Structure 1
């Protein structure tokens, strides 16, 4: 039932803006300093997986409440604020809901359900725009520059049966080699390049997991590559680690932060102060790396 509140729809305008500097980060709650805000305490880190959203769905990196909207799981950030009504804002991070102190959580949840169709539509529109932006950012043709480990490599397209293309004076560690059928389309070149990137990602992620797991005193059992558009990684209590393959675009320092973050969940399936202490045991500068990850270019992480 509709509450006697005026529901204010803040789509990229109004209220405090959500920083549009990234598309997605690993599933995480507020940092220790953010955890002291007036947001209500809800169950976000219990069960088999830390902050596991309903699938498929959208997850705000600092989510502390969840809802099932139009058959889609939406994990959003809820905050108390000095305002006269419940406000909704969809930004690059996802959904943020703000409400005055006198509004009950039941009323907040009812308002979210009432605006469910609008919320899901706006989140999907944002995802689609980011997808288009990413596809335009890289021209999938011979000679194109592709972000790789914080630098760029040159796309080297070979056609089967045609032989090597010209321009082979580029060092092998600075090229992204793909082989495609003669007359291949741009999408075929892109798909072939992404296969190569995923292979590089899996090999590197496994190496970094083997490096950090003993230092944290944990054991991971399985690695899966993710194509999620809303987060960098996740961890399950059974040792199953999922890492977004698009991390391969970023510097190894940021990749290592995500790896350590997820491995730390094998000791602490939450984002409590103890969790951040665990991360800090092997990565004292994690806060700086986390901030750098937040500021990574949007077009590197869109679906």
Structure 2
């Protein structure tokens, strides 16, 4: 989430945005660990190894350490910085450390940070696995997410144009000429999803505006590639139409988040307390949006 200002601050243009797809770990900030004091006897404890192949070749440019039951390969970069930095990127764990810090001290720091390291490595692995999932095929019988559930796409070959959703069977029927191109099908489905998003947002915004005792000036759909929503100081709300893919509680969280900015135009503790006052489950919703991989959504 970012506070955006023009070079000449204008209160009418001040905007706060709710970022999405932040599971891009390569852009995550480094987590710094203060360089340890160099005291005699500060040794890495003896750690048992019960899985993995300790005899496997160490990749070029990497170092290897045993941490609990794991074998951990990492890249070490020496620098003039005054602390030990940890980062997870496409190449795994990368550590930046001052030139004077010993390997023993670095490996002690790895042990202390092992929970964070393995959590982030697992998240990265899951993220990469989702990226390998096959993309949706635009054909009869395909499924796509709508309000947190998969619905089935039905294509009816006819000269009459139309689209209809059956909530009982969870089927979206699209009428198209037999020679219609895939682009026409995508445009028809996207148009329907955007209309649904506008309808549902229009229903939910007043609910949370009343709870927060705030008034918004207007709202519009957004197709932003980096934000779920935004709010300006003069009450203009923008909500990403692709929220329609998610369950209603996640939509409500984004709406509550943006409307809360009309009371606190920041991301201070008071802001989050405001969000929590109307949406107590905001932490879980925030994590669900942050962890969701963009590759699992249909490409239009």
Q: CA deviation at 1:295?
A: 2.9
Matched, 1:146 2:144: yes
Whose Rg is larger? 2
Q: Which residue of 2 aligns with 1:184?
A: 180
Whether contact under 8 Å (1:148, 1:248) holds in the other structure is: yes
Q: CA deviation at 1:160?
A: 3.6
Cα distance between partner residues in 2 of 1:143 and 1:174: 12
Q: Relative to structure 1, is the Cα distance of residues 235 and 81 closer, same or farther in structure 2, using a 3 angstrom cutoff?
A: farther
Whether contact under 8 Å (2:220, 2:239) holds in the other structure is: yes
Matched, 1:50 2:50: no
Matched, 1:292 2:288: yes
Matched, 1:272 2:268: yes
Q: Which residue of 2 aligns with 1:221?
A: 217
Matched, 1:230 2:196: no
Q: Of the candidates 249, 270, 286, which is equivalent to residue 253 of structure 1?
A: 249
TM-score, reference length from structure 2: 0.58
Cα distance between partner residues in 2 of 1:90 and 1:222: 40
In the alignment of these two chains, the number of paired residues is 215
Q: CA deviation at 1:242?
A: 1.2
Q: CA deviation at 1:137?
A: 2.4
Q: CA RMSD of the aligned region, Å?
A: 4.3
Q: CA deviation at 1:141?
A: 1.3
Q: Of the candidates 129, 147, 154, which is equivalent to residue 156 of structure 1?
A: 154
SS at match of 1:137: coil
Gaps of 5+ in 1: 1-26, 29-43, 63-74, 92-97, 102-129
Cα distance between partner residues in 1 of 2:18 and 2:144: 31
Whether contact under 8 Å (1:197, 1:248) holds in the other structure is: yes
